[in-house]
Amino acid sequence: MASVARSLLRAAPKPSSAGRRTLSSLARPQVFVSPIRQNARRGYSSGTEGKGSNTGLIAGITLAALGGAGYYLYSTDQLAAFGISSTPKVFTPTKADYQAVYNDVAELLEDNDYDDGSYGPVLLRLGWHASGTYDKDTKTGGSNGATMRFAPESDHGANAGLKTARDRLEPIKAKYPWITYSDLWILSAICAIQEMGGPKVPYRPGRGDKDVAACTPDGRLPDASKEQDHLRNIFYRMGFNDQEIVALAGAHAVGRCHTDRSGFDGPWTFSPTMMTNDYFTLLMKEKWTWKKWNGPKQLQDGSKTLMMLPADMALMKDKEFKKHVERYAKDQDVFFDEFSKVVCKLFELGVPFKEGTETITFKATTD
């Protein structure tokens, strides 16, 4: 069969360079995959064919003329010299591709009709809560899996309101189908930090998406109504120390609580869409008193504008926690440096990165 095919090919007219390009565009189906092995998504294409393209007709005529010999050569990839290959073209995202995703996420952050005018805080919370379920002993949970897409995890009390963040990112996922939800959520959290004036946070892609069977049990995220013993139990389970616990708490510089989500109400700082060390300075300088209302126990400042939760005040009650509160209140650069390191650690807990995966530092839109 192979000798007959070679004879037919020798006798057949040589395709022009334009013909080879046309045949090539037909016969290379594209498959997008992330940098690590995961469930392949077939059928996506990075480009579109021009209107009126006749590549299918040309290729069909060519293979029909070759008959069985042509199919043999195609299936054994011996037509590669003619620009026809049965091997799918693999798409490997580059740093530029991830930067493009970052830029598009940055474009959808601001919205005057949402909360304080930005989706940044809720996207940061999405990445935090997706990661904060990790258990170092059982090696379960963490950002690898994006299991908050499914009930019961999506219905856990600590995740109330995060459907807003997940839905906000759906157009980005549709535009870039090659990126996993797991990688997208963490990239978006990093984008939110940087675009809200926070520090650069290193990013490594390589998370895969899992199904409902990988959902974590309720109770793995911090309970804001509890104090230092609870905080240590939660964060030590993930592998953090006291300094890292306080640094991560600094994320409360942004965002606010909602009565229809956590039950609490109000922002922690006067600039809830800007990443600063104000959370720590306010903890130390303001006089916090218990709020008199029908909601859960929370504290308020003298102006009755800001609030703190029992878990926040625990950082001032505990002497080991308090010394780090004082350090961060004194120097925002120190806070930013240590926050960047610990939030990167949080986002990477339990992720089986492929050896040699490069770290990306995104360029912010304000750079």
Q: How far is CA 268 from CA 100, 171, 214, 271, 277, in A?
A: 32, 30, 33, 9, 11
Closest CA to 262 of 123, 354, 158: 158
Q: How many CA atoms lie within 13 A of 127 on its CB side?
A: 28
- Neighbouring CB atoms inside 10 A of 163's CB total 14
User: What's the CA gap between 213 and 221, in Å, rounded?
Assistant: 19
∠ CA 208-210-211, rounded to 5°: 160
Establish whether 156 is a catalytic residue: no
As beta bridge partners, residue 110 has: 118
Q: How far apart are the first and last CA of the chain?
A: 62
DSSP per-residue letters across 166-215: HHHTHHHHHH-TTS-HHHHHHHHHHHHHHHTT-----B--------GGGP
Torsion of CA 184, 186, 190, 193, to 10 degrees: 110
Q: How far is CA 121 from CA 206, 258, 279, in A?
A: 24, 13, 14
Establish whether 290 is a catalytic residue: no
Residues 220 and 135: beta-carbon distance below 8 Å:
yes
Detail the DSSP E strand segments found in the chain: 30-32, 41-42, 89-91, 256-257, 266-267, 289-290, 299-300, 307-308
Q: Which one of the listed residues 128, 178, 268, 288 is annotated catalytic?
A: 268
* CA 115 to chain CA mean position, Å: 22
Q: Which one of the listed residues 129, 156, 252, 324 is annotated catalytic?
A: 129
Closest CA to 195 of 309, 284, 119, 141: 119
Q: Is the peptide bond between 222 and the residue preceding it cis, with omega within 30 degrees of 0?
A: no
Closest CA to 88 of 48, 46, 47, 29: 29
User: Which residues are catalytic, by number?
Assistant: 129, 268
